[in-house]
């Protein structure tokens, strides 16, 4: 129960960075922290006490492997999610480079006031 | 090797403090360094929770994230101390937090307890992967064979993001020609 | 990222980076036996090329592996993965595993997992290398009141 509360505190810190801060790079860091918190939540859901990773090694029977291993289904969902987050950060960084070229600053207040 | 609950709580506390430093600091360079620390602690925590291939992926992806964010900062303005009032932002943030806590507070009590996960579908995949498909790694068998349709979707998303980067960083637009 | 770094960094990255590429290829090929697979292996191969990009500068790396060639390798990876899916469709089920599955714990086991791993590794490695190289191609410095463009940008082909 404490683990779920700690993960949601990290999620709220990321939401704060995305909603309140005025610097564009701080907003991108907030999106990254939200991604970390959601991936961690999925893997914590699939943990089993005293479990081994879901990979069969040479001397183990299949029945014992099914009893002891950790749930492999959330790990398959998180594996693609991490690589998708990296490409989203790459796209956001290129957007912020273009914004800096046009307005000369990273501050959101000054960007809202200038026109064209 | 028995790892008790105190070790989990210690690692989670360091991650939350690192995330706090990354958002609330005044210079951009120090917030990038603490973002790297959070990523590395997350990779160690994935290894303790029994997910080795995700630990490898998270470690390398975090290093590449630092390189991308550093290349967007160098040569440009690096102070993060903005001089405008944030009262409107705080107000929206409080409304958002209070609505999430009141709507989802019931679900904190029906989560599975930390350590018993519901393995109704996972048991079938763990049994089918070494016996029918003869593959020793159950996670790779799920990603590429049992749920291969999602991998096509993921490849499409990455392809679209990279094409977006190619279009944004072009030298001449359509109007200049 | 345009100029390279000093001589010590260049010599060490020249020695270390083939080992990183071989480590990445080993994680891709043995993806059905040990932890790993297509995704970590592809990201490791992209990281080794980014190391060469940081140490030697952009011009020298692009003369060896140009943007046009990495674009073609990206398309080959995508076509390989889709063809494995669609040929299985001719057997009646989408993604049917039609190869012969050998014994457990040998290299040829698990049907079409080997080809899918290689296709995904190629696709992701070249995608991320393209993305990070394109970010370094434009460099603008904002001085006092006028903007000076230091654009050393080449065309894509």
- HEC letters along B53-78: HHHHHHHHHHHHHHHHHHHCCCCCCC
Q: Global pTM?
A: 0.89
Interior angle at CA C152, CA C147 and CA C156, nearest 5: 125
Would you say B139 and B53 are in contact if contact means Cβ atoms under 8 Å apart? yes
Q: What is the mean pLDDT of residues C10-36?
A: 93
CB C94 to CB B165 under 8 A? no
What's the pLDDT score for residue A31? 96
Q: How far apart are CA B86 and CA C42, in angstroms?
A: 42
Q: What is the mean pLDDT of residues A88-116?
A: 83
CB B148 to CB C54 under 8 A? no
Nearest-CA residue of chain B relative to C82?
A: B152
Residue scoring higher pLDDT (B58 or A58) = B58
Q: What is the mean pLDDT of residues A40-53?
A: 90
CB B69 to CB A6 under 8 A? no
CA-based R_g, chain C, Å? 20
pLDDT at position B173 over 60: no
What's the pLDDT score for residue C149? 47
- pLDDT more than 70, % of chain C: 71
Instruction: Tell me which of A19-28, A107-116, C11-20 is least confident.
Output: A107-116
Mean per-residue pLDDT over chain C, rounded:
80
User: Please, which chains are in contact with B (at least 3 CB pairs closer than 8 A)?
Assistant: A, C
Torsion (CA) A102, A106, A111, A115 in degrees, nearest 10: -10
pLDDT at position C92 over 60: no
What's the pLDDT score for residue C150? 47
Q: Which of residues 35-54 of B touch C (CB under 8 A)?
A: 52-53
Q: What is the mean pLDDT of residues C88-92?
A: 61
What's the pLDDT score for residue B172? 59
Residue scoring higher pLDDT (C139 or A82) = A82
What's the pLDDT score for residue A109? 79
- The residues, ordered by sequence, that sit 6+ positions from B10 with a Cβ below 8 Å of its Cβ are none
CB C142 to CB A100 under 8 A? yes
User: Please, which chains are in contact with A (at least 3 CB pairs closer than 8 A)?
Assistant: B, C
pLDDT at position B48 over 60: yes
Would you say A29 and A86 are in contact if contact means Cβ atoms under 8 Å apart? no
What's the pLDDT score for residue C156? 38
Residue scoring higher pLDDT (C114 or C152) = C114
Q: Which residues pair with C142 in a beta bridge?
A: C147
Nearest residue, CB atoms, B155 vs list C78, C130, C131: C78
Q: What is the mean pLDDT of residues B12-29?
A: 92
Nearest-CA residue of chain A relative to C151?
A: A101
Q: What is the mean pLDDT of residues B116-123?
A: 88
Report how many Cβ contacts below 8 Å link chain A to chain B.
232
pLDDT at position B12 over 90: yes
What's the pLDDT score for residue B149? 87
- pLDDT more than 70, % of chain B: 89
Q: How far is A94 from chain C (nearest CA, A)?
A: 7
Angle of helix C38-56 relative to helix A73-103, nearest 10 degrees?
30
Q: What is the mean pLDDT of residues B144-171?
A: 88
Report how many Cβ contacts below 8 Å link chain B to chain C.
137
Say whether residue B164 is in contact with chain C using an 8 A CB cutoff.
no
Would you say C60 and B164 are in contact if contact means Cβ atoms under 8 Å apart? no
The helix (run of H) or strand (run of E) holding residue B31 is: helix B28-48
Instruction: Tell me which of B104-118, C46-60, C72-86, C96-110 is least confident.
Output: C96-110
Q: How far apart are CA A75 and CA B54, in angstroms?
A: 7
Residue scoring higher pLDDT (B83 or B25) = B25
Q: Which residues pair with A107 in a beta bridge?
A: A23
- The residues, ordered by sequence, that sit 6+ positions from B118 with a Cβ below 8 Å of its Cβ are B112
What's the pLDDT score for residue B3? 65
Q: What is the mean pLDDT of residues A76-103?
A: 92
What's the pLDDT score for residue A58? 80
Q: What is the mean pLDDT of residues B144-168?
A: 90
Residue scoring higher pLDDT (A59 or B37) = B37
- The residues, ordered by sequence, that sit 6+ positions from C62 with a Cβ below 8 Å of its Cβ are C133, C154
What's the pLDDT score for residue A99? 87
Q: How far apart are CA B75 and CA C136, in angstroms?
A: 12
Q: CA nearest C123: which of B57, B65, B158, B164?
A: B158
CA-based R_g, chain A, Å? 21
Q: What is the mean pLDDT of residues C90-99?
A: 57
Would you call C101 helix, strand, or coil by DSSP?
coil
Helix, strand counts (H, E) of chain B: 7, 0
**Using CB atoms within 10 A of its CB, is residue A39 exposed (0-12), middle (13-18) or buried (19+)?**
buried
CB < 8 Å to A9, chain B: 16
Q: How far apart are CA B125 and CA C41, in angstroms?
A: 24
Q: What is the mean pLDDT of residues C88-113?
A: 63
């Amino acid at each position: 129960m404490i683990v779920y509360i700690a993960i949601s505190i990290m999620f709220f810190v990321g939401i704060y960075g995305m909603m309140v801060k005025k610097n564009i790079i701080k907003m991108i860091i907030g999106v990254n922290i939200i991604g970390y918190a959601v991936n961690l939540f999925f893997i914590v859901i699939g943990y089993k006490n005293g479990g081994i990773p879901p990979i069969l090694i040479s001397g183990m029977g299949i029945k014992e492997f099914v009893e002891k291993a950790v749930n492999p289904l959330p790990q398959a969902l998180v594996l693609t999610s991490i690589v998708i987050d990296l490409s989203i950060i790459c796209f956001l960084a290129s957007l912020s480079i273009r914004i800096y070229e046009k307005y000369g600053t990273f501050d959101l207040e000054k960007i809202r006031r200038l026109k064209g | 090797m028995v790892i008790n609950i105190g070790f989990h709580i210690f690692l989670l506390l360091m991650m939350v403090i690192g995330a706090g430093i990354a958002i609330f600091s005044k210079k951009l360079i120090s917030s990038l360094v603490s973002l790297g620390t959070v990523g590395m602690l997350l990779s160690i925590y994935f290894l303790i929770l029994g997910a080795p291939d995700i630990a490898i992926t998270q470690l390398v992806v975090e290093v590449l994230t630092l390189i991308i964010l550093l290349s967007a900062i160098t040569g440009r303005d690096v102070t993060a101390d903005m001089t405008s009032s944030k009262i409107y932002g705080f107000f929206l943030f409080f409304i958002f937090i209070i609505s999430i806590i009141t709507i989802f507070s019931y679900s904190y009590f029906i989560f599975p307890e930390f350590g018993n996960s519901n393995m109704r579908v996972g048991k079938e995949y763990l049994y089918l992967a070494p016996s029918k498909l003869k593959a020793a790694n159950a996670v790779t068998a799920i990603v590429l064979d049992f749920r291969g349709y999602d991998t096509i979707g993921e490849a499409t998303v990455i392809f679209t993001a990279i094409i977006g980067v190619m279009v944004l960083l072009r030298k001449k637009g359509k109007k200049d020609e | 990222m345009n100029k390279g770094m000093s001589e010590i960094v260049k010599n060490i990255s020249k020695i270390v980076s083939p080992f990183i590429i071989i480590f990445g290829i080993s994680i891709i090929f043995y993806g059905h036996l040990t932890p790993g697979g297509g995704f970590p292996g592809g990201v490791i191969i992209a990281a080794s090329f980014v190391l060469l990009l940081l140490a030697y500068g952009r011009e020298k790396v692009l003369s060896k592996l140009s943007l046009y060639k990495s674009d073609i390798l990206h398309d080959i990876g995508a076509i390989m993965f889709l063809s494995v899916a669609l040929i299985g469709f001719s057997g009646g089920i989408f993604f049917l595993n039609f190869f012969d599955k050998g014994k457990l714990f040998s290299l040829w086991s698990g049907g079409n997992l080997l080809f899918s791993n290689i296709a995904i590794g190629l696709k992701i490695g070249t995608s991320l290398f393209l993305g990070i190289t394109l970010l370094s191609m434009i460099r603008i410095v904002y001085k006092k009141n006028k903007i000076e463009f230091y654009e050393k940008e080449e065309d894509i082909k």
